[in-house]
Structure 1
Amino acid sequence: MSPEDRFRRVYAGNFEALLAYATRRVEQPDDAADVVAETFLVAWRRSADLPADDEIRLWLYGVARRLLANHHRSGIRRERLGERLRQCLTAVSTCDPGSEVPQRLAVQAALRRLNDTDREMLLLTVWEGLHPREAAKVVGVSPSAARTRLSRARARLRGLIGDDPDAPGHVLGVLAVPVPEEGR
């Protein structure tokens, strides 16, 4: 009997039993079908090493068992990765200083009134947390030009919002996010 004929016979004689075995051990029927397909792929690749006919089903169960273990481990890894991503997304969505400030609309309106360069420098350093030298690379200017632009942008925004903490529209602490010192 040729190796192909033997494989066909092994497949036909064990497919349903392996599918039932895998189905009872996974949550989704599609996953069981994948495990069975991978099991027979291993059997096909190792057709020269298959045990005798009276032991083949046990060997296939052993292969399926290891593939199921891999499937469960990868599911756990996917869940952990998903949880880490959800935590990162939560952290990102709560880090926006404007979302915690009741007068954020006033700040957004003032930002819209700034020119594009000033707005970009402020957003890169305050919202994105970049150092001025990093923002300089993003906008394509020298670090000293970036520091100058940032200083001027802050002054223009203060002019639009106001410096008086008791005045309407003043948003205390919005631009008080510490910008790390950097060497010149």
Structure 2
Amino acid sequence: MSDERPARFEAIYNRTYSRITAYAARRCHSPQDAADVVAETYTIAWRRLDELPAGEQATPWLYGVARKVLANHHRGDNRRRAHTAELDAEMADLYGHSPDSRVELAAIGQAFQTLPDEDRELLSLLAWEGLDRAEIATALGVSRNAVRIRLHRARRRLSRALAEAGIHLTPESRFAPAERPL
């Protein structure tokens, strides 16, 4: 094995690890699950290193891989949850409410949860991950135009859900993407 492959992987890993880990952590129920998703994502990246795009295009590619790993993880998780529904209800009662949470944030979270999975993922990639449309297109495996259309529709559905919950955002605060880390 040449020294080039491990060095390339290490450079990509070091550049993307914190973003992919944050992505997984926001979508998993526990840090252990997030760690498993991240480990599987980078295992796939190592196996498919020759397919991994160079430069900044590696990040959205890895988001796409992590998205698929998460989907598999959630399917398995859903099967396990079907067997432990009573325990899940107890855990939700214990940890579902934070005493310092504001009512408006809870309403926004509930409105967000009413959206279809595809809308939540799209808005999360934009707002939490700070991806632009081209990067989202790569992560989702669709065209930039499809992202533009889906994003418009997702924003409209979220606005409707927020209005129904009595939340009215100012134009400046609507769906602004997160600051990108340096």
Same structural fold, with TM-score higher than 0.5 when normalized by the shorter chain = no
Higher gyration radius (CA): 1
Tell me the TM-score normalised to structure 2 length: 0.44
TM-score by length of 1: 0.43
Q: Give the structure, 1 or 2, with the largest relative contact order (CA under 8 Å, sep 6 or more).
A: 2
